[in-house]
Amino acid sequence: MLKMNEIKKLDASAINQKVSELRKELFDLRLQKNTTSVEKSHLLVNLKRDIARLLTALNTKEASK
């Protein structure tokens, strides 16, 4: 789980890279969930929240420019 103070230290390109990594991980977990069972289903929720945090931080950085 990412914290906002960690996210604020990242620049825009690092945030975009992290978002793409988390989206791929989320896709893989969803695929695993639909084909087999997932032991840690709470990771889906955590990944979605982390992506939302990153996108929020990215939008605030772009708005402040």
CATH number at residue 58: 1.10.287
Number of domains, the chain? 1
Asked if the model's pLDDT at residue 64 lies above 90, the reply is: no
The answer to pTM > 0.85 is yes
* Domain range enclosing 35: 4-63
Determine the pLDDT at residue 2: 87
Q: What angle do CA 33, 38, 41 make, to 5 degrees?
A: 95
Q: Cα–Cα distance between 63 and 13 in angstroms, integer? A: 15
pLDDT one-digit tens code per residue, 12-50 = 999 999 999 999 999 999 999 999 988 888 999 999 999
